[in-house]
Amino acid sequence: MREMRPSALKRLKDTYKGDDRILPSLERHVMRAMANDGADRRHDVMHPSEMAKKDWCGRHDYFRIIGTPSEKESMANPSFRMNNVFAEGHQIHGKYQDWLWEMGVLHGAWLCLSCHLVWTDTSPRQCPTCSSPRLMYREVPLFRELVGGHSDGAVHDLDGWDGLIEVKSIGMGTLRMEAPRMYQRYLDGETLENVWWKIQRPFTTHVKQGQLYLWMSWPRYEEICFLYESKFHQQVKEFVVAYNPATIAPILETAREVTRAVAQGLPPSRPSWAEDSDSKICKSCPYRRACWNLGAPHVTTQADDPAPVRVLRSTPAKRRRALRPAAVRPT
């Protein structure tokens, strides 16, 4: 469990009005619940959602996968507004999954809330073991070569089409990070409606993430469908992208380098943007000291020594003789 910073709750108290009844308790409940969100996220794999970003560092994932202790306390300092944004995104995902479930085409992992059975099926109506209708969709778990994640869903036989799906809720934060030029148009006075209609293709980060899912599921799925819903007016766009491994070739090359590094016990090379330990991303990395050998025992890297030599220790008797004072050593 992550500890919540006192400043996070203090910010809430500063916003309370004297006659508030529900919001203070509601916000505290949501923030404490969200502090534990992601506790079951695997730490021994590389995640496509991170790998798709331009500042992804395979060396960071190497240190996490081998269990290097974090050098910074992971303390939750959320805001109710941000948690509300994340919750809205989850709700948008859930409604499309529920609709596809009702249509009888949603494939993936399912959890029975009564007997806790987990199995793979297409739009089941009840648990095959206890016949309970209390089911939860657990998306599509994927794994290949130390890369693991969950696609939002898979569709089977929808008018003859099979493929993966990814649901993306598009808000101002998405535009700021994924489409800065469109975001600038909005800042310059263009309406949200016009900005929305200028989205003619899925964003690059989303495409790379989807390609990684297809790579993990190949050859079962050859296409992925992106469903974009605007947070501004709930309008929806659909983009279908075919599998193209060339799109993610550099990412896979780094991923395989990390996989080899884990097997050999030697850190992989740093990304080109990591010029020194004070680089923007490096300064916030929980493995910065281990990576850059800052005040810690030397960590051998592939660049330092591509073929480490085994060191043989002398016998205890020889070490004792070597440590004797010169005056008493036999001549």
Is residue 144 located within the same domain as residue 34?
no
In 3-state terms, what secondary structure has residue 224? strand
- The CATH number of the domain where 190 resides is what? 3.90.320
Q: What is the pLDDT of residues 78-92, one digit of tens each?
A: 566 666 666 777 889
Strand partners, 108: 121
Tokens encoding 45: 């794999």
Is residue 170 located within the same domain as residue 51?
yes
**In the predicted structure, residue 195 carries a pLDDT above the cut 50:** yes
Look up tokens 């778990």; give the residue. 141
CA distance 313 to 319: 9
Structural domain range at position 272:
43-77+140-292
DSSP-derived pairing of the beta strands 153-158 and 161-170: antiparallel
Instruction: Name the least confident of 73-82, 93-102, 262-271.
Output: 73-82
Is residue 222 located within the same domain as residue 166?
yes
Task: Let me know if residue 248 belongs to a domain.
Answer: yes
Is residue 36 located within the same domain as residue 48?
no
- Specify the pTM: 0.80
Q: What is the pLDDT of residues 138-184, one digit of tens each?
A: 999 999 999 999 999 999 999 999 999 999 999 999 999 999 999 99
Look up tokens 């496509």; give the residue. 48
Helix (H) or strand (E) holding 33: helix 23-35
Task: Let me know if residue 134 belongs to a domain.
Answer: no
* pLDDT top residue among 263 and 37: 263
Task: Let me know if residue 308 belongs to a domain.
Answer: no
